[in-house]
Each structure stands twice: as structure tokens, then as C-alpha cells.
Amino acid sequence: MRILHTSDWHLGRSFHRVPLLDAQAAYLDHLVETVARREADAVVVAGDVYDRAVPSLAAVRLFDDALHRLAAAGVPTVMISGNHDSARRLGVGAGLIARAGIHLRTDPADCAMPVVLPDAHGDVAFYGLPYLEPALVRDTLGATGTGHEAVLTAAMDRVRADLAGRPAGTRSVVLAHAFVAGGEPSDSERDITVGGVAAVPAGVFDGVDYVALGHLHGCQTVTDRVRYSGSPLAYSFSEHVHRKSMWLVDLGPAGELAAERVDCPVPRPLARLRGRLGTLLEDPALEKHREAWVEATLTDPVRPEEPMARLTARFPHTLALVLEPERSPEDPLASYAQRLGGRDDQQIAEDFVAHVRGGSGPSEQERTVLRSALDDVRVNDSVNEVPR
């Protein structure tokens, strides 16, 4: 069976205030064309269909059009909700839509109810594990712990139990939206850390033939059978080195697996430039970035006059300007942003406690309280479905 694996469309998202709906529409055109040209037997979408819980009408129209075109192509599609999606909204009408071959899996309680698709060699069972917020699904799944590993383990135990009861030779595909250890994150994924831990081991998914992951935006291989397709478009400058693509996976009669990357159309290349303003404006080697979306980091000791206007004269599509004057780490004028660079919310909160106490950091009990408070904020955001 030939499976096209994609994820993290984030329909409705902008790139530094530049609307991406046209680029997202072009990607979906490419997706439908690839399905036909490469004769895919199924499409799997591993979450974050939308960029926010309450998407714009334009994003909904784009999604609706994609579903109609996939249904018209007669190729079954299985998709799950991600941490950016509203599972309830995305899952509306799932039973009715399934009649057209579009299978939405947004309810954690249904994780062991696969979509079974036959090919010439037997059945392939597709299990959809939507994004599992531990505090919200722990009781539903009967998880024994409080973190992502616990709820994913509980969900996969259900999957393995269902698979064991199926005819011998039934192959299996799991869709999941999670941060799996070994994956490389970027700046554009929303933090899903719980209890100070975000990543789960790939071994959680043992026992199935292929795991189609979503959440991380870089296309990557965790193991031969556990892969991220990544987002089809770049959503942060940290993705300037990404090759945006989808996985075309051939699943053989005995579970043999071969995977090929299919490139996605790029609306405009990304460039991260760093140096003094005069160098960026004069260096002939940078001419190749004239038509790119540019993030420029200026290292001039003193802020230059009108830096953005001067940059856009050479690089018309400059979208982000960062000022990082050349200073020693001991310089008291080192920027606040530099001091916070690479730190997560927990570390920032603990550093603040140490700062107001004159260097005495929080106790282990206080760290637990801070971690619990940060987890509560994220869970409340998920429950209330606050758009970003």
C-alpha cells in the first residue's frame, strides 16, 4: 500500500504578518496532484490542520476545498487533530464525512478504532491518536502517570490489544501528534511540555509497521518506521535550513517499508543574515538573497540610522530585524533577550526567583509548584480554545 504522509498544515497562519493562504492553497494543489501522479492509496494527515482553535473563514474554505478534492479523487484520507486544532470543531460531522472516505480521528476514546483499508495483500489498520493533553485524557485512557509518555503508552496499549485481535498479517499504521525523543524542534512549534518533560521515547510505538508523526516542523526520521513529515511551509526563520517535503511510504505485504521524500513548493526562500549593517548592504556574496524573506541580525555597537529602510532597499522582502550589538557577555548592557536565549518558561521563572532573592533559587518543592502553575496555564488555554 502506498501512503502519502503529511502534517502541520497550519491553515490560516501568517509568516511575520505575511499571509500564507495562497501558498497553502498551492501546497494543497501539489498534494492532490501528487496523490494522482504517484498513485497513492491513502493520505494521512498527522495533526495541526489549522493554526488555531477558531480558524478564519478563509482557512475553513481552504480545508473544505481540500477535503472535496481528496474525496473526488477516491483516495481514503485519515487525519487527526493536533495541539493547535480544536478537536471538537475539527471532528464535527466525522461520521458523515467518513462516507466520502475522509476519516477524522479527534476523540482520544476512539484511538483503538482503526480505519481498515484493504489492498491486494490484505488489510492495513490505520489508528489515529489525536494530540493527547495529559491532564485532559489521563482518566479516559486509564493512564498510570501524568505526562505525555504515560498517556501515549496507554493509547498504544489499546492499539496493540486491538491489533492482536485482528487476522494474522494485518499491517498497521499509527498517526500521532507528539514530541518524540530524537526529533529536532524549531521555533515555530507551540510548547507542549508537561511536568518539565516534552519528549517521549520512540519505543512507545513499538509493535506497529509505520508511525506517521506530526508536531515538529522539520521532515525527519526518528527510526526507520517512525517519521515526521514536517510542515509543508516554513513558519519561522529557524526553518531556513529545512527541506520541506512529505513522505511517500510503500508498505509491503509483510510490513516491509520503503520511504521517499516528495518536495513541497516553496513560495519564497528564507535567509538569516548577520553582521554590521554596512557589510550586509555591500557584501556581493549576499546578492543571492535579494528575493528571499530575510531576517537580519545587526551587530553594530551603536544602532544605525533607519536600519530597516536601508535593508529593504537591498533586500525588499526583509521581514525581521534583530539588534544584537557586539558586546562581551560581562557587559551590563547585554540585552535581556540575550540573557533569556535558549531558556524555557520553567527556567525563566526559576531565574526570576533567584534574582529577587539575591541569588537563592527555588527549592524542589517550589520548583514543583512553578511547574504545576505553568502546566495549568497551558491546559486552560487548551480547554478554553483561545486563538493565538
Domain segments of the chain as ranges? 2-263, 274-384
CB proximity list for 147: less than 8 A, separation 6 or greater: 134, 194, 195, 197
Q: Are the C-beta atoms of 242 and 251 separated by less than 8 Å?
A: no
CB neighbours of 309 closer than 8 A, spacing ≥ 6?
none
Residue 28 CA to residue 62 CA, distance in Å, equals 9
208 grid coordinates? 506497529
Q: How big, in percent rounded to 5, are the helix, strand and coil portions of the chain? A: 35, 25, 40
Report the predicted TM-score, pTM, of the whole model to 2 decimal places.
0.85
pLDDT, one tens digit for every residue, the chain (388 residues): 999 999 999 999 999 999 999 999 999 999 999 999 999 999 999 999 999 999 999 999 999 999 999 999 999 999 999 999 999 999 999 999 999 999 999 999 999 999 999 999 999 999 999 999 999 999 999 999 889 999 999 999 999 999 999 999 999 999 999 999 998 888 888 877 765 667 899 999 999 999 999 999 999 999 999 999 999 999 999 999 999 999 999 999 999 999 999 999 999 999 999 999 999 999 999 999 999 999 999 999 999 999 999 999 999 999 999 999 987 655 555 555 556 666 777 778 877 887 777 677 888 888 878 777 876 776 665 555 433 3
Q: Which CATH architecture has domain 2-263?
A: 4-Layer Sandwich (3.60)
